[in-house]
Amino acid sequence: MQFGIFTVGDVTPDPTTNSTPSEFDRIKAILTIGQKAEEVGLDVFALGEHHNPPFVPSSPTTMLGYLAAKTERIILSTATTLITTNDPVKIAEDYAMLQHVADGRVDLMMGRGNTGPVYPWFGKDIREGIPLAIENYALLHRLWREEFVNWQGKFRTPLQGFQSTPRPLDGVAPFVWHGSIRSPEIAEQAAYYGDGFFANNIFWPKEHYMKLIGYYRQRFEHYGHGTAEQAIVGLGGQAFMAKNSQDAVTQFRPYFDNAPVYGHGPSMEDFTEQTPLTVGSPQQVIDRYAGMRESFGDYQRQLFLMDHAGLPLKTVLEQLDILGEEVVPVLRKEFAKNRPANVPDGPTHASLVAKTRVAEAEKPFALGGISANVSVDSAAANQ
């Protein structure tokens, strides 16, 4: 089980001081938060990608490349990489490069992006979001697995004898998660490839995501990648903590009330009841998240949103201390209890390499890179 944080990289005024960080301050704060995540023992740091203010991370591999040099163990990921408006050729190259730079500590989460104008700014049309996500990923998947690619699709220039460079580290493509809030097409896509499926989970009631993840698990089995219980599931989450739960409520309320997404809407009490947002003591967060697998089944990755809505860096770092020292160690134990042996751990480069080698040894031909029904839970994969 992997625990980590994800950030959208918003530049939001702190409602308690009315001060807004500069882009420089916020970019540096995100880099500090990424290093802190490793320091407090988390497994994953994931960064969003945006091309419109008030969000700063337009160039995720630049920031993740810096973090690769500054960290040693943590997996660097995205939340999300825009599979619709980016050229899949550039994604293949950028992230294979990052994989080498980071010694394999890289995976990606694909998303479509929901801001209408961003599509035409990149020459695309939001009404074709799903077809773009499907076709672009089909090309990306091949670019990482086939040396020379001939390609013709609807959305980009055809390719003849194109070789994406550098080749993925150890000949193994970065692991891919597909994120979606409501589209069964994306759950189907994740299941088809045997990729991971990530449910953002933080802005909607969990009943909605339970159905979507149930569908993904069922289709994962249908496509022959393992049983439904072995599908690779990630969940988002959100918490704000203080030793005394009432202090957490008091401190977080101005940030909640003015937050970019849900601020000026439901009360914090209603929102915490209806979504996984938990504001209270570390024990309350432990109880809430230890219960997630009752709803979603045993899963592989839990990411928390900890740094949005104008929370100052100092507060975010304190929150990460609590998360890393008091919450995650207990959750690790809770999630390990009665976890079936055949449920895989969160994917790492080492586990993917081991799995690929076993598949190569057992089968003279690979099914388009999908090593189906090969159960390898190598010790290297364990975090």
Partner 1 sequence: MSARSLVVVSAGLSQPSSTRLLADRLTTATVERLSGFGVETSVEVVELRDLGHDIINNLITGFPSPKLSAAVESLTAADGLIAVTPIFTASYSGLFKSFFDVVDPSALTDLPVLIGATGGTERHSLALDYAMRPLFTYLHSVVVPTSVYAASSDWGTGADGGTGALPDRMSRAAGELAALVRDSERSSRVIDPFALPAGFSPVGGYGAQ
Q: How far is Cα 181 from Cα 206, in angstroms, rounded to an integer?
A: 11
Of 34-42, 66-74, 95-103, 123-131, the window that binds partner 1 (rule: CB under 8 A) is 123-131
CA 40 remoteness from chain centre: 19
C-beta of 68 vs 212, nearer to partner 1: 212
User: What would the 3-class secondary structure string for 274-320 be?
Assistant: HCCCEEECHHHHHHHHHCHHHHHCCCCEEEEECCCCCCCHHHHHHHH
Does position 128 interact with partner 1 (CB under 8 A)? The reply is yes
Contacting range for partner 1; rule: CB under 8 A; set: 200-208, 297-305, 343-351, 375-383: 200-208
> Using the rule CB under 8 A, is 264 a contact of partner 1?
yes
- CA 276: distance to chain centroid? 17
Distance CA 190, CA 198 (A): 9
- Contact segment (CB under 8 A) with partner 1 among 74-82, 97-105, 166-174, 264-272 equals 264-272
249 scored as a contact of partner 1 (CB under 8 A): no
120 versus 184: smaller Cβ distance to partner 1? 184
What whole-number distance in Å separates Cα of residue 50 and Cα of residue 57? Answer: 6
| Site track 280-319 with partner 1 (rule: CB under 8 A), x = hit | ----------------------------------------
| Radius of gyration of the chain, Cα coordinates, nearest whole angstrom | 20
Across the chain, how many H-helices and E-strands are there? 14, 12
The closest of 329, 258, 322 to 54, measured between CA atoms, is: 258
Interface with partner 1 includes 358 (CB under 8 A)? no
Name residues contacting partner 1, limited to 139-158 (CB under 8 A): 153-154
Q: Which stretch binds partner 1 (CB under 8 A): 13-21, 51-59, 203-211, 234-242?
A: 203-211
Binding residues for partner 1, per CB under 8 A?
A: 128, 130-131, 134-135, 138, 153-154, 184-185, 187-189, 191-193, 203-205, 208, 211, 215, 261-262, 264-266, 270-271, 274
